[in-house]
């Protein structure tokens, strides 16, 4: 199902498509479609990268070593989005390669757009944090808690955890799209910034706390705790929950802020996702909304939920075919790498929407 | 028996002394809370997966695998890398590597000798894989082949020297919730103890770990491993500096007071009594604990320092517990002549048993770590049972001790109440003697309880604040854990200093006509006593008779 991988193979080296007209907020995620072999290692590459705005190019030149993490972050975000929305009509497909997620994200401030923004910001923060903690990046900073220059500060009170840096970089890079002088105050920019921040909060607020006792004789007289970054699929699940409970908002021009459309609703918090336009039903392909439609999608015959054939196919019905599935089975595993399996074949029913 | 300074001190002087001691105490807490950083720092890091394609490690060659920099190993980003399948890379060829500390702000940081000690744990990222599950029906047996190298800044970049190497056995415990049983979800795993170093003498440390597999045995069958993280905890340099300063100031102060105390005792020209001797020993042990020999760790490698500190701390607490026991016993006021250690052998045995159990346990853990830093007594089954045994013995002894102590205190209070009623019938010298004893005892009880309560409270605050994570650094925040450490350390020092000062023999002799403020106090007390006496004299005389028997 991992369409992005497939895309990687097919489009591998032909993705340097420069779109001059459609400048949308998550265009930088096109980085995800670069072949993983082509590491972004040279400052000059920054100008060739697809989908970056001027400010992002400048950031790229200044932080070239981080760009690979941005790419990994974008890829993670797309994969996680597709995993979370696998069973919905809108399945986070990036088949429309040039525009990534299609018009949904491009123009309209829908729930789906909110989710894509939040998970992309989270993806970058996550990937940068992880790269920092593996020591592969030299630029990661000990943040402001440290007194003095890095070595003296480190000697006095150590280094803060890497999530602070990961989040800060994600904010600078991902929000760069929304931070132009005129753009800042646009309703859509406010919404995007809010959702980006909510994505980063989903990581920050769900850090796992680990502690170790190391006092006299290993007693808990001294206990030191640190925060470990959550696995990205957990972040995706949290954001999916936020997606389900997202708040529809309207823009208040006088204060440049977003308030709930329905004034009786509780105001949204920093952790919540917000959207401004209702989503289309995604039943039919529509160039205007960017909907791909559900024709030919797999559905579940026995489910009453959105992945069930009734809802998924929008009442158009479905066809059932028998297909042969070749699987790996009876594998001998170790904790990594070499796996010796047999191949098994299975015949299964497959239902697809008309 | 002559009076002590405490009894002859005027109320005003006592007040001034108490206030200044409380102020000093506050300073200790504030130094910890405001000046010192948190006591410990953590470097959590994901290891780099080096590929040992030529099986150098398995051939027994001690070659370091570097995660970055010049001479970086051949590495892969993740195990799903197509290279793994293409080149047939095997689990036996993977070496997890990390170089501590990590680079920051474009520079390679280096460890400092101020860090004093370093503890490390391993965190495993096991991912649920429906075909390759973690064996939940039994504890997974892990074998880690580990090597730690070191290098100094000025050394050649390739000049890594071996610090320790070992093959260690660990038991891994992981679990996963039922709703999370789908591919890609993560197991919750306990941290694995990795190594403990009693000194951070070198600039860089290189950690190499291999998880060997063998088709014939069940070692390292742990499901699907995605990442191996090494977490390093060390004492903050800033905290060490504050700590050393406190010790350096306290050491001469306590020694001076101790010398003054002993000189006071000797000028009395009589044989010393047990309380004085115990108090003196307490002062000596405290001075040993205060002695700032840690300064040497900045020049010489002293890996035994952590162990030594444990022993010094333990000795102080054992001495403190013994002191309370003896002090309470010596204030029993039941006409039994004790004044000798022999009289306390039962209670002291309990203290000695508890501290011996702790000592043996510590020697087994940290003592062995001197030769093998990866050693953990908990990792072997027999060791874990033995360790638990020692802890249980120590725990039971400590409980017994407190039962003994409470019983003794209870008896003293019973005797006090009976003595109070009969005080009026005594001659003035005897009365002075007994009211002096009572006053001394009550004062110590009060101060001790205060100190103990303060220790417990600050400990709890420190623990709670450690568990909660503070986000942001804009607001001025107190370091509760540091405040607890420096505060309690300073407090027990102040406690011993004040005991040495107040319980030193007084120069002032009892005279019938000395009128000072304590006298007016006791007169007030007498009025109360006479009122009570009329009502309960019958019972009181009965009790005192019994006590005398």
Write down the pLDDT at residue A181. 74
Which chain B residues contact residue A161 at CB under 8 A? 42, 44
**For residues B282 and B324, what is the distance between their CA atoms, to the nearest angstrom?**
10
- CB contact at 8 A, A73 and A130: no
Substitution target from B76, B93, B102, B312 for chain A, most A beta carbons within 10 A: B102
Question: A335–B68: do the CB atoms touch at under 8 Å?
Answer: no
Name the percent of chain B lying above pLDDT 70.
89
Q: Give alpha helix (H) positions in chain A.
A: 3-11, 45-48, 54-62, 64-84, 103-106, 111-133, 150-157, 163-174, 187-204, 232-244, 309-312
Q: Which residue of B has its CA nearest to A211?
A: B467
Cα B216 to Cα A271, B57, B135, B221, B399, distances in angstroms: 51, 20, 17, 11, 49
B469 vs A224: CB contact, 8 Å cut-off?
no
Rounded distance, CA A319 to CA A313, Å? 11
Nearest to B105 among A141, A144, A210 (CB): A141
Q: Are residues B182 and B260 in the same domain?
A: no
Q: Which residues partner with B162 through β-bridges?
A: B149
User: Is A67 buried (19+), middle (13-18) or exposed (0-12) by CB count in 10 A?
Assistant: buried
What pLDDT is recorded for position B516? 42
DSSP-based three-state secondary structure for B114: helix
| Structural domain count, chain B | 2
What CATH number did the domain enclosing B371 receive? 1.20.1070
| Domain final residue pick, B235, B266, B299 | B235
- pLDDT for A143 equals 58
**Which residue among B41, B211, B229 sits closest to A159, beta carbon to beta carbon?**
B41
Clarify whether residues B395 and B533 are in a common domain.
Answer: yes
**Same structural domain, B21 and B78:** no
**pLDDT, chain B, mean:** 84
- Cβ separation B91–A334 shorter than 8 A: yes
Q: Do residue B230 and residue B294 come from a single domain?
A: no
- Looking at per-residue pLDDT, the higher value among B492 and B545 belongs to B492
Tell me how close the Cα of A136 comes to any Cα of chain B, in angstroms.
7
Same domain, yes or no: B49 and B85: yes
Residue pLDDT, tens place only, B416-452: 888 878 877 878 888 877 888 788 788 888 888 888 8
**CA dihedral sign, ordered B464, B470, B476, B481:** positive
Residue B521's Cβ-side half-sphere holds a number of Cα atoms within 13 Å equal to: 13
Whether A216 and B313 lie within 8 Å, measured CB to CB: yes
Single out the residue of B433, B530, B493, B529 nearest to residue B253, CA to CA: B493
Beta strand B140-151 pairing with B204-210: antiparallel
Task: Give the model's pLDDT for residue B376.
Answer: 86
Contact criterion met (CB below 8 Å) for A133 and B46: yes
* Closest approach of B213 to chain A, Cα-based (Å): 8
Contact A317, A297 (CB under 8 A): no
Of A141, A145, A338, Cβ closest to residue B91: A338
A135, A150, A209: residue with CB nearest B105: A150
pTM summary value: 0.84
Beta-carbon separation of A212 and B223 below 8 A: no
> Which range among A300-309, B67-76, B517-526 shows the weakest confidence by mean pLDDT?
B517-526
Identify the band that residue B147 occupies on the pLDDT scale cut at 50, 70 and 90: very high
More confident residue, B31 or A10: B31
Same-domain status, B163 and B288: no
Among residues B235, B269, B291, the one where a domain terminates is B235
Q: How far apart are the first and last CA of chain A?
A: 20
List pLDDT tens digits, range B229-284.
Answer: 999 999 999 999 999 999 999 999 999 999 999 999 998 888 888 989 999 999 99
What is the residue extent of each domain of chain A?
23-293, 296-354
Rounded CA separation A226/A203 (Å): 15
Angstrom distance (rounded) from CA B327 to CA B331: 6
Residues 6+ apart with CB under 8 A from A239: A84, A115, A118, A119, A122, A198, A199, A202, A273
The answer, for A209 touching chain B at a CB cutoff of 8 Å, is: yes
Q: Are residues B218 and B298 in the same domain?
A: no
Fold of A296-354: Endo-n-acetylneuraminidase fold (3.30.2460)
Query: What pLDDT is attached to residue A105?
Result: 58
Question: Smallest Cβ distance to A156: which of B45, B90, B238?
Answer: B238
Q: Is A343 on the interface with B (CB under 8 A)?
A: no
Residue-wise pLDDT tens for chain A (354 aa)? 444 444 443 333 333 333 333 346 677 777 776 654 455 666 777 777 777 888 888 888 888 888 888 888 988 998 999 999 988 888 887 765 555 666 555 567 888 889 999 999 999 999 999 998 998 888 887 754 444 456 788 888 888 778 888 888 899 888 888 877 777 788 888 999 999 999 999 998 898 888 888 876 667 778 888 888 898 999 999 999 999 999 999 888 888 888 888 888 888 899 999 999 888 888 888 777 777 788 888 888 888 888 888 888 888 888 999 999 888 787 778 888 767 778 888 898 888 988
Arithmetic mean of pLDDT, B355-363? 90
Residues B33 and B155 in one domain: no
DSSP state of A230: P
The pLDDT assigned to B461 comes to 79
Q: Which of B235, B258, B286 is where one domain is finished?
A: B235
Chain A, window 87-146: residues with a beta carbon less than 8 angstroms from a chain B beta carbon: 130, 132-145
Whether A228 and B112 lie within 8 Å, measured CB to CB: no
Q: Could you give the CA distance from residue B111 to residue B109 in angstroms, rounded to a whole number?
A: 7
Please answer yes or no on whether B67 and A338 come within 8 Å at the CB atom: no
Record: contact A336-B46, CB cut-off 8 A: no
B497 and B358 in a common domain: yes
Domain that holds residue B126: 40-235
Interface contact flag, B103 A137, Cβ < 8 Å: yes
State whether B225 and B257 are in the same domain.
no
Nearest to B279 by CA among B324, B245, B227: B324
B151 plus B110 within the same structural domain = yes
Under 8 Å between Cβ of A39 and A68: yes
In angstroms, rounded to a whole number, what is the distance separating the alpha carbons of residues B483 and B243? 11
The C-alpha of A210 sits at a distance from chain B's nearest C-alpha, in angstroms, of 9
Tell whether B348 and B212 lie within a shared domain: no
SS3 A348: strand
Task: Give the mean pLDDT of B92-118.
Answer: 91
Pair A73, A127: CB distance under 8 Å: yes
Q: Which tokens sit at A251?
A: 């823009």
**Residue range B482-503, pLDDT digits in tens:** 998 999 999 999 999 999 998 8
């Amino acid at each position: 199902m991992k369409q992005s991988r497939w895309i990687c193979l097919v489009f591998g080296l032909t993705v340097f498509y420069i779109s001059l007209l459609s400048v949308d907020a998550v265009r930088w995620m096109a980085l995800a479609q670069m072949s993983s072999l082509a590491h972004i290692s040279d400052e000059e590459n920054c100008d060739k990268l697809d989908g970056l705005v001027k400010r992002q190019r400048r950031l790229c030149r200044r932080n070239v070593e981080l760009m690979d993490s941005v790419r990994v972050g974008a890829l993670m975000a797309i994969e996680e989005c597709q995993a979370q929305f696998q069973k919905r009509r809108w399945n986070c497909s990036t088949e429309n390669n040039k525009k990534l997620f299609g018009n949904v994200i491009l123009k309209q401030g829908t729930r789906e757009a909110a989710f894509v923004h939040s998970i992309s910001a989270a993806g970058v923060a996550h990937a940068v944090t992880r790269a920092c903690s593996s020591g592969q990046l030299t630029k990661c900073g000990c943040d402001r808690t440290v007194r003095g220059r890095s070595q003296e500060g480190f000697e006095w009170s150590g280094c803060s955890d890497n999530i602070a840096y990961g989040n800060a970089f994600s904010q600078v890079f991902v929000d760069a799209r929304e931070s132009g002088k005129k753009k800042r105050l646009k309703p859509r920019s406010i919404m995007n910034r809010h959702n980006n921040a909510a994505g980063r909060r989903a990581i920050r607020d769900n850090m796992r706390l680990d502690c170790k006792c190391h006092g006299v004789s290993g007693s808990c007289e001294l206990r030191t705790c640190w925060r470990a970054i959550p696995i990205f699929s957990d972040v995706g699940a949290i954001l999916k929950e936020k997606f389900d409970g997202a708040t529809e908002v309207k823009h208040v021009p006088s204060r440049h802020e977003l308030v709930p459309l329905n004034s009786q609703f509780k105001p949204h918090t920093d952790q919540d996702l917000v959207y401004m336009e209702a989503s289309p039903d995604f039943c039919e392909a529509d160039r205007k909304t960017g909907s791909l439609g559900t024709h030919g999608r797999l559905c579940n015959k026995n489910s009453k939920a959105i992945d069930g054939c009734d809802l998924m196919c929008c009442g158009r019905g479905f066809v059932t075919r028998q297909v042969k599935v070749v699987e790996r089975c009876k594998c001998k595993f170790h904790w990594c790498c070499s796996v010796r399996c047999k191949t098994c074949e299975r015949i299964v029913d497959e239902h697809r929407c008309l | 028996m002559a009076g002590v300074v405490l009894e002859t001190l005027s109320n005003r002087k006592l007040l001034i002394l108490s206030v200044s001691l409380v102020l000093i105490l506050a300073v200790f807490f504030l130094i910890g809370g405001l000046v010192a950083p948190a006591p410990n720092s953590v470097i959590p890091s994901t290891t780099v997966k080096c590929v040992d394609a030529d099986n150098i490690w398995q051939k027994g060659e001690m070659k370091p695998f570097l995660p970055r920099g010049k001479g970086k190993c051949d590495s892969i980003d993740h195990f799903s890398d197509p290279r793994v399948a293409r080149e047939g890379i095997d689990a036996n060829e993977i070496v997890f590597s990390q170089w501590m500390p990590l680079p920051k702000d474009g520079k390679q940081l280096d460890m400092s000798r101020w860090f004093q000690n370093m503890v490390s744990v391993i965190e495993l990222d096991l991912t649920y894989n429906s075909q390759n599950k973690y064996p939940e029906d039994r504890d997974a047996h892990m074998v880690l082949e580990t090597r730690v190298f070191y290098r100094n800044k000025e050394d050649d970049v390739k000049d890594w020297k071996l610090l320790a190497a070992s093959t260690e056995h660990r038991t891994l415990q992981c679990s996963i919730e039922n709703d999370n049983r789908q591919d890609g979800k993560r197991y919750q795993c306990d941290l694995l103890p990795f190594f403990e170093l009693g000194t951070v003498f070198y600039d860089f440390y290189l950690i190499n770990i291999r998880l060997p597999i063998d088709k014939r045995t069940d070692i390292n069958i742990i499901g699907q491993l995605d990442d191996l993280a090494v977490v390093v905890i060390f004492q903050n340099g800033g905290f060490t500096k504050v700590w050393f300063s406190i010790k350096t100031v306290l050491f001469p102060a306590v020694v001076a007071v101790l010398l003054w105390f002993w000189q006071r005792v000797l000028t009395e020209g009589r044989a010393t009594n047990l309380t004085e001797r115990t108090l003196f020993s307490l002062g000596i042990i405290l001075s040993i604990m205060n002695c700032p020999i840690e300064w040497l760790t900045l020049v010489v490698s002293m890996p035994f320092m952590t162990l030594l500190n444990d022993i010094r701390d333990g000795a102080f607490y054992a001495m403190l517990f013994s002191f309370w026991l003896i002090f309470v016993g010596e204030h029993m006021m039941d006409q039994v002549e004790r004044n000798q250690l022999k009289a306390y052998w039962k209670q002291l045995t309990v203290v000695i048993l508890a501290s011996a159990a702790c000592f043996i346990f510590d020697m087994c853990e940290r003592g062995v770590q001197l030769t093998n830093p990866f050693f953990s007594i908990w990792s072997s089954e027999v060791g874990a049972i033995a360790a638990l045994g020692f802890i249980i013995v120590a725990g039971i002894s400590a409980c017994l001790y407190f039962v003994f102590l409470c019983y003794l205190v209870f008896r003293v209070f019973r005797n006090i109440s009976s003595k109070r009623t009969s005080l009026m019938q005594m001659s003035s010298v005897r009365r002075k003697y007994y009211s002096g004893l009572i006053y001394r005892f009550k004062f110590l009880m009060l101060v001790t309880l205060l100190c103990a309560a303060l220790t417990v409270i600050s400990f709890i605050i420190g623990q709670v604040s450690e568990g909660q994570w503070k986000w942001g650094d804009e607001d001025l925040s107190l370091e509760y854990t540091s405040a607890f450490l420096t505060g309690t350390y300073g407090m027990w020092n102040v406690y011993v200093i004040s005991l040495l000062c107040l319980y030193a023999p007084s120069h002032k002799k009892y005279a019938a006509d000395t009128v000072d403020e304590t006298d007016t106090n006791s007169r007030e007390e007498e009025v109360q006593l006479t009122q009570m006496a009329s009502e309960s004299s019958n019972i009181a005389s009965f009790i005192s008779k019994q006590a005398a028997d």
